[in-house]
Amino acid sequence: MGKVVTREVLQRECERLRREGKRIVFTNGCFDIIHAGHARYLARARSMGDVLVIGLNADESVRGIKGALRPINPENERAEVLAALASIDYVALFDEPDPAGIIGEVQPDVLVKGGDWPVEAIVGADQVQARGGKVVSIPFEVESSTTRIVDRILARHAPPGEPRRLSSQ
């Protein structure tokens, strides 16, 4: 079995891991263009437990969050890149607007999000805390974002008259 799994397989694996006494850490996101900020974030998340599970937004979900121009990379390629990282144990796609469903299936001991999310706004925080789990907000690296990387590329290489930013910021 590889690291990229269906939600059904992930749920069974998490049940097995819990029986073995493993501490499961969960985070989610689009992970559109993996960059150093992601690598540092994922390594830090992994250090909080025995197993790191990624809930990866499917393409349609990314479009709903980030707009029609995203994702840059399709879901299967984003999943493959994440699975290649040593810090990650499992990757499963979800296509809902938020990760509440997959969080309920995984039942993590630790739920992690980037620092741009206050703990009280993290989807699934109430579920995790109700089970005695921990919710952690890792400081966000403003300069290490996919949108900023794409904006830098466009600013340097977009033809005259073409948009020079992906974001509206």
The residue among 86, 117, 93, 89 whose CA lies nearest residue 31 is 93
Any domain includes 33? yes
Q: How far is CA 26 from the centre of its chain?
A: 9
User: What pLDDT was estimated at residue 159?
Assistant: 77
Any domain includes 148? no
Q: For residue range 134-166, what is the model confidence (pLDDT) as tens digits?
A: 999 998 766 667 777 777 777 788 777 776 666
Omega before 71 within 30 of 0, i.e. cis: yes
Any domain includes 161? no
The residue segments making up the domain with residue 53 are 7-142
Burial, 108: exposed, middle or buried (Cβ in 10 Å; 0-12, 13-18, 19+)? buried
Any domain includes 115? yes
Asked whether 127 and 103 are in contact (CB, 8 A), the reply is: yes
Any domain includes 79? yes
Any domain includes 128? yes
Any domain includes 165? no
Q: For residue range 92-140, what is the model confidence (pLDDT) as tens digits?
A: 999 999 999 999 999 999 999 987 778 888 999 999 999 999 999 998 7
Q: How many domains does the chain have?
A: 1
Please count the CA atoms within 13 angstroms of the CA of 14 that sit on its side-chain side: 26
Q: What's this model's pTM, rounded to 2 decimal places?
A: 0.88
Residue 2 has which token pair? 């590889």
Q: CATH number, domain at 90?
A: 3.40.50.620
6-19 average pLDDT score = 98
Reduced to 3 states (helix: H, G, I; strand: E, B; else coil), residue 94 is: strand
Any domain includes 107? yes
